[in-house]
Amino acid sequence: MTREYLKKATLTSASGASDVHDTVVGILSDIEQGGDAKALEYAAKFDRYEGSVMLNADEIEAACALVPEKLKADIRFAHDNVKRFAELQKGTVADVEMEISPGYIAGQKSIPVDAAGCYVPGGRYSHIASAIMTVTTAKVAGCKHITACSPPRPDVGVAPAIVYAAHICGADNILAMGGVQGVAAMTFGLFGLPKANILVGPGNQFVAEAKRILFGRVGIDMIAGPTDSLILADKDADAHIVATDLVSQAEHGYNSPVWLVTDDRDLAEKVMAMVPDLIEDLPELNRDNAFAAWRDYAEVIVCADRVDMAACSDEYAPEHLTVMANDLDWWLENLTCYGSLFLGEETTVSYGDKASGTNHVLPTSGAAGYTGGLSVHKYMKIVTWQRSTPEASKEVAIATARISRLEGMEGHARAADVRLAKYFPGENFDLSANG
């Protein structure tokens, strides 16, 4: 089908991505070899902070005291929603077993990882919600130790609201360290921390690259690129709300793509006319980010009908997907590639980002085509087990021996042979690979 681009992006999320690989490799290597002292050296250089790195109980209490009671109530509200939704998710994973054949039992068991490292951005914006999203889900999953790590500001430290959120959500330690050095400290078990089994949470390109490099020796939630959002809207959508939502997501950063996909050209033109004024009305930092994102990365696409709109959306596989169109059940049934879905104008990505309960750590840059976002499941290992009576093992042993010999794996075959010989003395079995 023909799609008309009323606005086409001149850049993509991969455009201008700096090659930070060598820099990050060097920092990780230095810190792994130099330990605490080298991490502190990088913290002084990049964070420009020389205060307490591991917050003690008194420092946490002092930071929490600086948070206004109204904000504390909002954080507790968001924490409760995220916690209850995470508990719902955990309930979808059960320890199960089945009898493969009489006497032969196989099962599944879910085991949370021991130590989680939660990175909470605190540079351009103080991401209070990221502390809630990452720490809460780790706690619900059952991790034995949770570290919250956030970049401190010079002579200030970690934002008090982040400290409060991490603390009430269940962090065992709060690390005042940002960037690669913070990720390294959690991975290598510096400053008395246990070595993290998994690293979660968003961050800048250096944090993302550190997670990419460390993946394998430690688990990660995902490799996050710039946040992105797509809105599907039909003729009955409120153009002002659509435009406002696009701008609200563009403020994330200069390279945060936002897309409008519609089957109504008139709506598209109204939205495009409104966006510049909405951007201009933002505070300076937000305005600069949103202006660049809209100029370089935004797209407005007119499709023939809703079927093509849905297909277009699935091709983009957006991190955030909002539907402002009639027949919401149809869209829920037919859309398949997104990190989180927001149905109707009564909800918005901002709700999910902050307080409604679903997690805001989501796949970006098209990764929603193959994965979902952060959940309790990311912190859990789904493992299997089996046991058998001697009699029940007979058929499995025979098949194993034959398959192994067909593959040329004689050692595997003999592991089955010896059990057949022990459990069924005097019986003869055809255990050759040939017919």
Let me know: does 121 contact 203? Beta carbons within 8 Å.
yes
- Provide the pairing of β-strand 299-302 with 258-262: parallel
User: Is 360 annotated in some ligand binding site?
Assistant: no
CA 61/CA 54 separation, integer angstroms? 13
Residue 336's alpha-carbon distances to 68, 182, 242, 316, 339, in angstroms, are 41, 35, 22, 11, 10
Kindly state the tokens that stand for 326: 């009639």
Contacts for 125 with CB less than 8 Å, ≥ 6 apart = none
User: Is 204 annotated in some ligand binding site?
Assistant: yes
CA 248/CA 313 separation, integer angstroms? 19
Phi, psi of 135 (to 5 degrees): -70, -45
User: Is 353 annotated in some ligand binding site?
Assistant: yes
User: Is 412 annotated in some ligand binding site?
Assistant: yes
Phi, psi of 96 (to 5 degrees): -130, 160
Let me know: does 309 contact 302? Beta carbons within 8 Å.
no
User: Is 249 annotated in some ligand binding site?
Assistant: yes
Kindly state the tokens that stand for 272: 């495009």
Which residue numbers are catalytic? 319-320
User: Is 286 annotated in some ligand binding site?
Assistant: no
SS3 of residue 270 by DSSP: helix
DSSP letter at 229?
E
Paired strand residues for 319: none
Phi, psi of 302 (to 5 degrees): -105, 120
User: Is 423 annotated in some ligand binding site?
Assistant: no
Q: What's the Rg (C-alpha) of the chain? A: 26
- Orientation of helix 21-42 relative to helix 179-188, angle to 10°: 80
Let me know: does 224 contact 253? Beta carbons within 8 Å.
no
Binding-site residue positions for Zn(2+) = 249, 252, 353, 412
Binding-site residue positions for NAD(+) = 119, 181, 204
Binding-site residue positions = 119, 181, 204, 249, 252, 353, 412
